[in-house]
Chains A and B, each alone.
Chain A
Amino acid sequence: AQTVTQSQPEMSVQEAETVTLSCTYDTSESNYYLFWYKQPPSRQMILVIRQEAYKQQNATENRFSVNFQKAAKSFSLKISDSQLGDTAMYFCAFRRAGNMLTFGGGTRLMVKP
């Protein structure tokens, strides 16, 4: 079974600074997909960024980028120029072939003014 671990339950960052959220996973699969989802307080979960395991290039979406280390089974999320609206729970998720997401426990990020 796949497991996803987020070792930082809570983090905080000053507005405009950069923060990195960690995620590790365990799988014997070679073909899979990784996602970061954001869940703002009392709001719905939205996709931040996704990465296909077969792609060596790290995914980037505006201020969000990942550091994907396949051999180390690590998938961290870097948020640059943090904004107050980035305050949310962030979930790392794993999906192999099939449509079942396995989530990590989440990291609560607080962006401070």
Chain B
Amino acid sequence: KAGVTQTPRYLIKTRGQQVTLSCSPISGHRSVSWYQQTPGQGLQFLFEYFSETQRNKGNFPGRFSGRQFSNSRSEMNVSTLELGDSALYLCASSLGQRGNTDTQYFGPGTRLTVL
């Protein structure tokens, strides 16, 4: 099976712009979660999508949004970019079964730099 893929791998934007990142989960996985990784804050949960619905949400401002398509592919969007949004954005997919050892498998990440 192919692993989790994320596109693009690297992105450079300027303050005020918006950006869209894409994640394709492992075949058969219905849950996609997004995490932000920065040297200062570490790994922080952004949100999770399951069957095209946001199921969980972390503590991030409304500038961060996402969606999931019927084929389980997910996108996340960041509007009005700030310098502090520079980070590695990781996507993780899983079967999405609650209450058991539903392991998340991570993609390689998208490195976003905001200038």
B111 to chain A, nearest CB (A): 10
Q: How large is the interface on A (under 10, 10 to 19, 20 to 34, 35 or more residues)?
A: 20 to 34
What B residues does A97 contact at CB under 8 A?
A: 98-99
What B residues does A47 contact at CB under 8 A?
A: 103-105
Number of B residues with CB within 8 Å of any CB on chain A? 27
What A residues does B44 contact at CB under 8 A?
A: 103
C-alpha gap A35/B109 in the complex (Å): 19
Do B55 and A103 touch across chains, with their CB atoms under 8 A apart?
no
Please name the residue on chain B nearest to A31 by beta carbon: B99
Interface: A45 (CB within 8 A): yes
- Beta-carbon contacts of B89-115 to A below 8 Å, as 1s and 0s? 010101010110111111111000000
- Beta-carbon contacts of A83-112 to B below 8 Å, as 1s and 0s? 000000001000001111111111000000
Chain B residues close to A by CB (< 8 Å): 31, 33, 35, 42-45, 48, 50, 55-56, 58, 90, 92, 94, 96, 98-99, 101-109
